[in-house]
Structure 1
Amino acid sequence: MAAQEFDLVVVGSGPGGYVAAIRAAQLKMKVAMVERAELGGICLNWGCIPTKALLRSSDVYHMLTHAEQFGLKVEGKVSFDLTKIVERSRGVAKQMSQGIAFLMKKNKVTVIQGDAKLNGRGKLNVTKDGATTEVVAKHIILATGARARQLPGLEVDGKLVWSYREALVPKEQPQRLLVVGSGAIGIEFASFFRTLGSEVTVVELLDRILPVEDEEISAFARKAFEKQGIKIRTGAKVTKLDKKTNSVVATIEADGKTETLEVDRVISAVGIVGNIEEVGLDTVKGVKTDRGFIQVDEYLRTGEPGIYAIGDVVSPPWLAHKASHEGIICVEAIAGLHPHKMKVENIPGCTYCTPQVASVGWTEARAKKEGREVRVGRFPFIGNGKAVAMGEPQGLVKTIFDAKTGELLGAHMVGAEVTELIQGYVIAKTGELTEAELMETIFPHPTISETMHESVLDAYGRVIHI
């Protein structure tokens, strides 16, 4: 059979891959997208979207169990059906995946199901059910994503030790749960299962949870989690897992001491590693890797002409919206449109635990390390009328400015709906606004967004409501 020919082939249909394919189609390229599993990749099917569906169910459950605080009565005992919660989550993921199929059809992107492997420059072999199809393209984008990192002694077995996949589809609720790793994935699952009543312990190797966040925000979040009953061990390491029939005894080392903890299930959330092993990188000389990830330049080009890489298979931060943006930059560079370069400091990060955490730019420590003289503003949710009315008075907004130029260096938030609010600061950073424009901006009342304004005012000694 003759090879199928395209201008561009994208390997992987996650948020990076499918966005790249759509943008290329908009630019009148003949595009194909290869996917070995569900359209939408990990994010839509086993990551961002289904976890948010689970967390929404736990949020509603929490609200129902605290209905009396809002003057409401719930007759009888509030309970939940874990099977139904999981079914809803899977239904949301399926709906979103079907949406990607519609977008591919709308944009005339050819979808090829199967495992793709490079066969030299400009060539791919796609295998499905034992049959192989040759695909030829001048440009090939690798958007193959990543998988959960496995540590010796903490290997996922799917029964007692879970990755995010197993944690998304639990057959029963673990009464005792150990979460190894306190990044976004670990904390979100810790929050979900704790809200439903599990006894949750989080173990973090570093000296604080959510280690990429500003230290002050991490500390605030930790207090909130511990108030909810989550037990947190920082500066600690799980050195051994002794598996029993339906439980696990974990050995934890911290401060030179050793303790054991018996739990029903363990979630390993210790990072990711890029999917680079089975895509035929050995058939091209110019593609280089570093610690399990493909190396690229500012326009996502590898060292091999015509081969590009985007998303979780390249450098951090490993976020869906970064992957999508990389896809657009990559395709527009291919098309000769001279796109802007990615500014990592303008990429927001969001963690959808309770309370939510969101940030953009430098932490206070990073700003000082870079030699900047800073002005720092803070505003607590307790001083915001909308937050108090919502029953969400626990939160904090922190902003960091260059004292000499007024440049917004970073913004960090913890509290209700901050994952929605952070985009205001992202726009400010992207537009290179200073404190002057932010202070002159009119924020609607009553909204939680007013905390953002007050934090800016506080950095310059003009705060109103505290």
Structure 2
Amino acid sequence: LEKGGIKLPDRSATFDLVIIGGGPGGYVAAIKAAQLGIKTALVEKNKVGGTCLHQGCIPTKVLLHSADIYRKFLKAHEYGIIFDKLGINYPQFHRRKESVVKRLLQGTQFLLKKNGVQVFEGEGQLSSANNVLIKKNGTDIAEVAAKNVILATGSVPLIPHAIPHDGKYVLTSDDILLQEEIPKSIIIAGGGAVGVEFAYLYNILGTKVTIVELLDDVLPAEDKEISATLRKILTKRGVDILTNTSLEKVEVDNGVHIETKSKIDTSYPPTTSGNKGNLKADCLLLALGRTPALTNLGIERFSLSFKGKYLQTNEVMETSQKGLYAIGDITGPPLLAHKASHEGLCAVSHIADKETTPINYQNVPRVTYCSP
């Protein structure tokens, strides 16, 4: 059944498993389930691959790789390599990024199709414990029955209410990946992995970068030695780093004006009175973490257990509602693609009645991409 080019199931289609969200948690779980003979549907409102492929890991790594090659070329003469003119064509960084993403998207779509996963384009919403409504642009296009459901809807960048996010001057990581002009100056709110990766990128591209971090150091979740060493190196390369500092006020006026407040007396630029500071830049990147995407999922109808803003699951990723599983960013940190995939495999293994080893969260590798 086709409707506007969208593949629809029979209204009464029944699946052993319906997965809502086609990122690295959802699509990996779907492929594995199908391989185990479980009749599986995957509901994705955008393109399969999720944040990781389209707004996260992959596109940022492509841009960073180009920047890194440029940085090596700056020292080429030391290696006896001579060339006439070295420059940056930043739009071409983005063209390469798009071609890499497209290739990986096609690979993912091929694997889903090859393994017999039925993919529905739309938003999935639980209408009951065993029924998933599929909506497209606010209209219900189908409803499928599911013996089991895995929620794998991921997370979105956190935007504090008081900050005027406009996608032009005040940007999230999603927005900045679409910007093809190199700003002359940028303030990055948040010195975690996302903040540091963009600080590293724009510093190489010649942008004046300032990181504002609320905690004691950049990469506050890593070992102190790592944070301190990285801070020294970034500072030496011309990145300004303000730690123990909060954003108090953000104004947009052909650029951004920012009022900061320091928790302790630090040596601020002379524009400051006491522990307040004023910063100006072409744009502000919000790298303040991410928040689980749990709206419009229909989970209100069940009294699910939460831990903070994340869904609580048992060791086989099942929520307090039998047959309803949750994986990936919506279940809490670390918010990483491979952790989501692993949780997806764990849930599917349990659904397939296989012996399932619980995940050891002490053993999840992580990396911040910058050099060093």
User: Shorter-chain TM-score: which interval?
Assistant: over 0.9
Once residues 215 and 338 of structure 1 are traced to their aligned partners in structure 2, the CA distance between those partners, rounded to angstroms, is 39
CA contact (8 A) 1:53 1:88 kept: yes
SS of residue paired to 1:89: helix
User: Among 161, 177, 194, which residue is 1:168 paired with?
Assistant: 177
User: Among 89, 101, 113, which residue is 1:105 paired with?
Assistant: 113
Q: Flag the structure with more relative contact order, 1 or 2, with Cα contacts below 8 A and sequence separation at least 6.
A: 2
- 1:334: how far off? 1.3
Once residues 128 and 161 of structure 2 are traced to their aligned partners in structure 1, the CA distance between those partners, rounded to angstroms, is 34
Once residues 182 and 297 of structure 1 are traced to their aligned partners in structure 2, the CA distance between those partners, rounded to angstroms, is 32
State TM-score, norm by structure 2. 0.92
User: Among 169, 190, 201, which residue is 2:210 paired with?
Assistant: 201
Whether 1:121 and 2:129 are equivalent positions in the alignment is yes
Once residues 190 and 321 of structure 1 are traced to their aligned partners in structure 2, the CA distance between those partners, rounded to angstroms, is 24
Aligned equivalent of 1:92: 100
- 1:155: how far off? 4.0
Unaligned runs of 5+ in 2: 1-9, 266-274
Aligned equivalent of 1:456: none
- For 1:251-270, what aligned pairs fall within 5 Å after superposition? 251-254=259-262, 255=264, 257-270=275-288
- 1:22: how far off? 1.0
SS of residue paired to 2:25: helix
AA partner of residue 57 (structure 2): C
SS of residue paired to 1:239: strand
Once residues 291 and 243 of structure 1 are traced to their aligned partners in structure 2, the CA distance between those partners, rounded to angstroms, is 32
CA contact (8 A) 1:153 1:239 kept: no
Aligned equivalent of 1:338: 355
Whether 1:275 and 2:284 are equivalent positions in the alignment is no
Once residues 105 and 288 of structure 2 are traced to their aligned partners in structure 1, the CA distance between those partners, rounded to angstroms, is 27
User: Among 75, 81, 91, which residue is 1:72 paired with?
Assistant: 81
Aligned residues: 352
SS of residue paired to 2:41: strand
SS of residue paired to 1:304: coil
- 1:353: how far off? 1.2
- For 1:24-35, what aligned pairs fall within 5 Å after superposition? 24-35=33-44
User: Among 28, 43, 46, which residue is 1:37 paired with?
Assistant: 46
Once residues 69 and 197 of structure 1 are traced to their aligned partners in structure 2, the CA distance between those partners, rounded to angstroms, is 21
- 1:231: how far off? 0.9
Give CA-to-partner distance per residue, 1:51-103, whole Å, 9 cap, x none: 00000110111111221121211212x11111111121122112211111001
CA contact (8 A) 2:164 2:252 kept: no
Once residues 98 and 312 of structure 1 are traced to their aligned partners in structure 2, the CA distance between those partners, rounded to angstroms, is 24
Once residues 3 and 275 of structure 1 are traced to their aligned partners in structure 2, the CA distance between those partners, rounded to angstroms, is 28
Once residues 258 and 292 of structure 2 are traced to their aligned partners in structure 1, the CA distance between those partners, rounded to angstroms, is 28
- 1:131: how far off? 4.0
Once residues 179 and 201 of structure 2 are traced to their aligned partners in structure 1, the CA distance between those partners, rounded to angstroms, is 12
SS of residue paired to 1:157: coil
SS of residue paired to 2:87: coil
Once residues 125 and 140 of structure 2 are traced to their aligned partners in structure 1, the CA distance between those partners, rounded to angstroms, is 13
- For 1:182-261, what aligned pairs fall within 5 Å after superposition? 182-244=191-253, 246-254=254-262, 255=264, 257-261=275-279
Aligned equivalent of 2:149: 140
CA contact (8 A) 1:167 1:189 kept: no
- 1:208: how far off? 0.9
AA partner of residue 325 (structure 1): H
Whether 1:153 and 2:153 are equivalent positions in the alignment is no
Whether 1:298 and 2:306 are equivalent positions in the alignment is no
State TM-score, norm by structure 1. 0.74
- 1:211: how far off? 0.8
Give CA-to-partner distance per residue, 1:294-340, whole Å, 9 cap, x none: 11111111000110000011111110010000001111011121211
Unaligned runs of 5+ in 1: 356-466
Aligned equivalent of 2:58: 49
Once residues 277 and 165 of structure 1 are traced to their aligned partners in structure 2, the CA distance between those partners, rounded to angstroms, is 19
